[in-house]
Amino acid sequence: MLQILTITSIRYLLNKLGVGLYISKHVKFPLRDELKHKIQSFMNFDFSRIETKMTYNYDYKNIFAKILRKEIPNKTLLETEYSLAFEDINPQAPIHILLIPKGPYVDIDHFTQEASDAEIIDFNRAIGEVCRLTGVQPCNDGNGFRVISNSGEHGVQEVPHLHLHILGGRSLGRMLPRESL
C-alpha cells in the first residue's frame, strides 16, 4: 500500500501519540532513536526526506476542529472529501457561509504550503460550489459575493483553523475604509 504523508499528517500522528516534533531545514527531532525507529517502521516513512520548515502549531481544541469531529453541530451546506461548508452562527450578511478544510491547517499560508494538491483543488472547487448553491454567482444571475480569510494578529484571525467567509445577498460596501498610510 502506497502511503503519501505530508508534514501536517506526520505532526498530527505524532501529536496523537503525545510526541513532540520540530522540523527545520536541518531536520531535528526530539525523539529517542528507539521511538523514531518504531514510528518509521510503523509508517514506512523516512524522516530524513523532510526538507521543509514547519512554522505552524495547530490547536486541536479550536471550535472548527470540534465541528469536524462532530462534537459541535452545524448547519452543513456542503461536505466533500477534504472540505466542509456550513452557515455562520453569527452572520454578517444574508448569506454567510464558512468553508474549512478538513485537514489541520492554521491559515491560508499554512494550507498552501503543506496541503496536498487534492486538498487544494477540492477546497477551491468547494468555493465555487458554495457560490452556486447559495445563488450568488454573477454568471448565474446572482449579484456577487466576497470571500474573506483572516490570518494572524494583524488579520484579526479569531479561530486558528483556516476558514473562508463567503458573504453575499446584499451590497457589502468597501472592504476597508480609505485611509492614508
User: What confidence score (pLDDT) does residue 79 get?
Assistant: 98
The single residue of 26, 37, 154, 163 carrying the catalytic annotation is 163
Q: What's the average model confidence in pLDDT over 67-73? A: 97
In a shared domain, residues 41 and 102: no
Q: Are residues 76 and 30 in the same domain?
A: no
Reply yes or no on whether 37 is catalytic: no
Asked if pLDDT for residue 52 goes beyond 60, the answer is no
Tell me, yes or no, whether 57 lies in a domain. no
Domain count, the chain: 2
CB 47 within 8 A of CB 29: yes
- Is the pLDDT reported for residue 30 higher than 50? no
DSSP, residue by residue, the chain: ------HHHHHHHHHHTT------TT----S-HHHHHHHHHHHT--GGG--S-------TTSHHHHHHTTSS---EEEE-SSEEEEE-SS-SSSEEEEEEESS--SSHHHHHHHS-HHHHHHHHHHHHHHHHHHT--GGGT---EEEE---TTTTT--SSS--EEEEESS----SS-----
State residue 95's pLDDT score. 97
Question: Taking a C-beta distance cutoff of 8 angstroms, is the pair 99, 123 a contact?
Answer: yes
* Whole-number Å distance between alpha carbons of 50 and 114: 12
Tell me the pLDDT of the chain averaged across its residues.
Answer: 81
Statement to judge: residues 98 and 17 lie in one domain: no
Domain assignment present for residue 155? The answer is yes
Of 135, 139, 141, 120, the residue nearest 166 (C-alpha): 135
pLDDT digits (tens, 9 = 90+) for 55-69: 788 999 999 999 999
If asked whether residues 27 and 72 sit together in one domain, one would say no
Instruction: Copy the grid coordinates of residue 137.
Output: 454567482
Q: Which domain holds residue 28?
A: 7-49
Same domain, 113 and 42: no
Q: Provide the CATH number for the domain around residue 121.
A: 3.30.428.10
Instruction: Assess whether 31 and 108 both reside in one domain.
Output: no
27 belongs to a structural domain: yes
**Are 24 and 80 contained in the same domain?**
no
Claim to verify: residue 88 and residue 147 sit in the same structural domain: yes
- Per-residue pLDDT of 84-141, as tens digits, reads 999 999 999 999 999 999 999 999 999 999 999 999 999 999 999 999 999 999 888 8
Q: Is residue 179 part of a domain?
A: no
Do 88 and 32 belong together in one domain? no
Does residue 175 lie in a domain region? no
Dig out the grid coordinates for 52 from the structure: 521543509
